[in-house]
Structure 1
C-alpha cells in the first residue's frame, strides 16, 4: 500500500479523526469528573456548616454517618458529634466559626472528605470509567471497519477511473465507464463520459474534415499540375486566361491555409483583444463591398439598418467573424433573394443580426454548424474550408458574447450575435 495512495490517505484520515475524538472524549470525561468531585466537596463543606448551625440553635437534624461533624460551644467544649464524644476539647482542632446574625455562637469541625473516600462513589466512578472505555473500544473498532470499507470503495472507484483515463489517453474514445459511488464520484464519471463522447465526436469531425480538406486541396493541386504539365509539354498554350485560372486556384489554396492559421491563433489561450471604439457606419461600408460581384450577379437585395453610431470591440476580429457569416449568406441566397444586416442595442447588449432568404439549414445540422471542421451536406460541394463559422464563434466567445442561429421557411435564416456592453 503506497503512502500517497487515496486509500491510505482516506483511511489514515479516518483513524486520525477517531483518535482525536477519543482524546477529546477522555479529556472531557476527566474534566467533568474533576468538576463533579470539586462541586461535591464544596457541597459537603456547606452542608456541614449548615448542620452545625442547626445543632447550636437546638433544631432537630439528621446527620448522615458518612459526614463526620463535631460541634463546639463558645468555650470550645464539644457538645455534639456523630462519632461519639471522645473529643471533648476543640483546642487542638482547626475549628470553623459559626455565626448567627453576624454574632459568634460556636464552632464546628468537619474533616475534609474526598469523593472517592466513600465506597459507593468509588464503585460508581469505576463503573462509569469501565463503560466509557468499553464504548470507546467498540466505537473505534466499528469506525475502523467503516473507514476501511469506505476507503476500499473509494479506492476501487478511483482505480477504475484511472484505468479508463489511461485507455482514453491512448485513443480509446467512445467507450464509457460505469462505477457506483457517491454523488461527487458520479459527477466525475459523468464528466469523463461526456469528455469521451466529445472526443469521439471531435475525432469524427476531424476525420470528416480531413477527407474534405484533402479533397479540396487535391482538386486545385491536381488541376494546377495538369495545367503546368500540359504547358510544359506544349499540349496547352500559355495564355492570359489559363494563367488567371491557375492564379484563382492558388488563391483558393491560400484562403484555406489562412483559415487554418486564423483558427489556430484564435484558439491560443494567449490571444488578446485590441478593444477600441468601432464606428458602425465604417463597419457597414466594409461589409457592403464583400462579394459585391456575386450579389449583383444573383440580383440579391441588401439592406443595412443601425440605431447605433458606435460600439466597443476588436474591430479587426469582429469584421473577420461577421464577414464569414455575410459570405455564407451570399453563397446560400438564391437569385432575387434578400439579405438584411442590422445592428442595435437590446438591454445591456449589442445585437448584430444577419438574415437571408436563402436555403434553410436542416434542424439536425443547426446544432453542429459551429463545430470546428464541420460542413453541412449542402456545403460540401461549395468552396470553403468549413472553418468560417467556427472562427466567427471563437471571435464572439473572445468578446464574452454569444451567437445563435434560427432557420425556417417563413423568416429565412438569421444569425444573431450578442455582445455585452
Structure 2
C-alpha cells in the first residue's frame, strides 16, 4: 500500500483545524486518553496522549456549509429585526396619532370648547370607541353648559321680577305716591310668598341632592296615599274645571311615605298646570311583574318629542313663558327623579304635543 505522507498531514491538519474551530463551540465532544508505551520486555518507556473528537469530524466543506448557514440565519435575524421595528413604528403611529387627536380634544374640552368634534377613523376598535366616547362627552358637556347659562338667566329673572315689584311698591308708598292700604300690602305679600316658594324649591332640590337624604321605609297603603294627595289638590283642579279620575288598587308596599307623597304631588301638580280648562287627568296604580306602577295621564298641552330627554334636568322648562303662569323654576321633575332613584325605581314618559302626557312611576314592590 502506498500513501502520500504530505497529503495525509495536510488532511489531518485540516481536520484538526476544523475540529478546533468547532470545538470552541462544543467542547464536550472532545476527549483525551493517556496510553503507556512499553518495549519488548514489557517495560514502560514512555506515555502517549491521544485526543479524539468522537465519531464525528468536520471536513472543509462541512465547515463552509455551517458558516453559510450561520450567515443565512444571521441575515434572517437582521431582516426580522428590521421588519419588527418597521411594524412597531407603523403600529405606534396608528395608535399614537388618534391618541394625540383625542388628547388635543380633551385639552379643548378642558378649556371649555365643546363645539369641536373628533372626525377621525382608525383601524383599531378600541380607539374608535374612545373617540366616540369623547364626542359624546363633549356633546353632554355642551348641553350642560347651555343649561347652566340658561339657569343663570332663569334664576336672575325669577328673582328679579318679584323683587322689582316689591321695590316699586315700597318706594311708591315711602314717597307718598300710594297709600299703604290693604290692597297694596297684599300685592307686596304675594310677591314675598312667590319669592319664598322659589327659595323653597331650591332648598328641596338641595335636600334631595344631599348624601344625607336617606329613605325611611315603612309599610304604606299606596291607594290611601294617592287619594290624600288628590283630595288636597282637588281645589286647584276645580279652578280649571279639570276632572280627576282614579283607578287604584289597594296595595301595601314599603316606601318612604313623605318622599313618595312629594313625587305624587309634583306629578299631579304638573298635570293640573299643563292641562287646559275642562281637561281630564287619569291616575292609576297597580302591580305588574312584581313592581308597583303609578300612572299619571292627562290630555293637556303635551311635550315636544325633542324636549322629553331634558325634562328631568334641573331648572329646565320646555316653554320659557310657562313660568309666568305656573310659577315654577323647573326643579319639580328633578326632585321626582331623585326620589325614584333613591327607591331604585324608574320613570317612563310618553307625550305628544297638544295631545297630553303620561308619566309612569315604576317601583320595586317590597
The verdict on a shared fold, with TM-score over 0.5 as the criterion, is yes
The 3 A distance-change label for structure 1 pair 115 and 216 is farther
**Residues 137/308 of structure 1: CA separation in 2 closer, same or farther (3 Å cut):** farther
Return closer, same or farther for 1:142/1:268 CA change in 2, 3 Å cut-off: farther
CA–CA separation in structure 2 for the residues paired with 1:316 and 1:115: 99
**Alpha-carbon deviations, 1:282-321, whole Å to 9, x = none?**
4214412443332222222222322242223333332223
Where do 1:187-198 residues align within 5 Å? 187-198=129-140
CA distance in 1, matches of 2:334, 2:110: 25
- Aligned counterpart in structure 2 of residue 326 of structure 1, from 249, 260, 268: 268
Q: 1:171 and 1:327 mapped to 2: Cα distance?
A: 38
Alignment of 1:304 onto 2:246: yes
The yes-or-no answer on 1:407 pairing with 2:354 is no
The aligned residue for residue 226 of structure 2 is 284
Aligned partner of 2:336 in structure 1 is 392
Alpha-carbon separation, structure 1, partners of 2:105 and 2:171: 53
Deviation, structure 1 residue 353: 0.5
Over the aligned positions, Cα root-mean-square deviation in angstroms equals 3.1
Task: Report the number of matched residues.
Answer: 314
Change (3 A) 1:307 1:138: same
Decide which of 154, 157, 172 is 2:98's aligned counterpart: 157
Match for residue 112 of structure 2? 171
CA shift digits 1:238-278 (9 cap, x unpaired): 34443333232222222222322333443456754333333
Find the counterpart in structure 1 of residue 125 from structure 2. 183
Distance 1:190 1:409, change over 3 A: closer
Query: Please, which of 198, 217, 224 is the counterpart of residue 166 of structure 2?
Result: 224
Tell me what 2:196 maps to. Answer: 254
C-alpha distance in structure 2 between counterparts of 1:223 and 1:315, whole Å: 38
CA-to-aligned-CA distance 1:2-61 (integer Å, 9 cap, x gap): xxxxxxxxxxxxxxxxxxxxxxxxxxxxxxxx9xxxxxx9xxxxxxxxxxxxxxxxxxxx
Instruction: Give the TM-score normalised by the residue count of structure 2.
Output: 0.74
TM-score (norm 1): 0.65
Verify the 8 A CA contact 2:300 2:355 in the aligned structure 1. Answer: no
Unaligned segments of structure 2, at least 5 residues:
1-25, 30-51
Q: Is this contact kept in 1: 2:301–2:354, CA < 8 A?
A: no
